[in-house]
Amino acid sequence: MSYLKKVLLPGEIIVYQTGLHWLIYLRATFFLILALAIFGVSLQIDQQYAIFVQGVAAICLLVAIIDGLGAAVQRASTELAVTDQRVIYKRGILSRHTLEMNRSKVESVDVDQSLVGRMFGYGTVLLRGTGGSLEPFRSISDPLTFRSHITAEPLSHAPPG
């Protein structure tokens, strides 16, 4: 069961849920491509240098695997949601960092997106609560939609009448 499902209050509804953007795999992808390119070069050069070059390719491949696994764990262990009452953020598996802020206590929501972030649909959301606390949510998918759900009027639980 996900953290979000465990901490929902009775009658609380998840309005929007998102996670980290897939571009957190970019560094791992870069090292994987670099390893493949270096290995390709090693097949074209003199045999006495090929073993050294293949060793460099192996190191790049190892870095790619470690980065990729780290990014996968980070992406799988981060949950962001807006409910009809709160904003909930959780990251981590063994050690956990959580933030739960009542939507009524949110003073402002800022979105920072670079040009690349705008092109690929990711960015940082800065959530400022009453009392001046500032919480950044980095590398999240579709930060503008996340912001819109935070700032939208919460749904009322009162029956229509």
Pairwise CA distance, residues 122 & 106, whole Å = 21
Pick the CATH number of 1-6+14-155 from 2.30.29.30, 2.40.160.150, 2.60.120.620, 2.40.50.100: 2.30.29.30
Burial of 70-94, coded b for 16+ CB within 10 Å and e otherwise, reads ebeebeebbbbbbbbbbbbbbbeee
Task: State residue 161's pLDDT score.
Answer: 46
Q: What pLDDT score does 145 carry?
A: 95
Tell me the domain boundaries of the chain: 1-6+14-155
Does residue 157 surpass a pLDDT of 70? no
Across the range 94-122, mean pLDDT stands at 93
What tens digit of pLDDT does each residue of 51-63 get? Answer: 999 999 999 999 9
Q: pTM for the complete prediction?
A: 0.81
Residues 85 and 22: their CA atoms lie apart, in Å, by: 28
- Whether the predicted pLDDT of 2 surpasses 70: yes
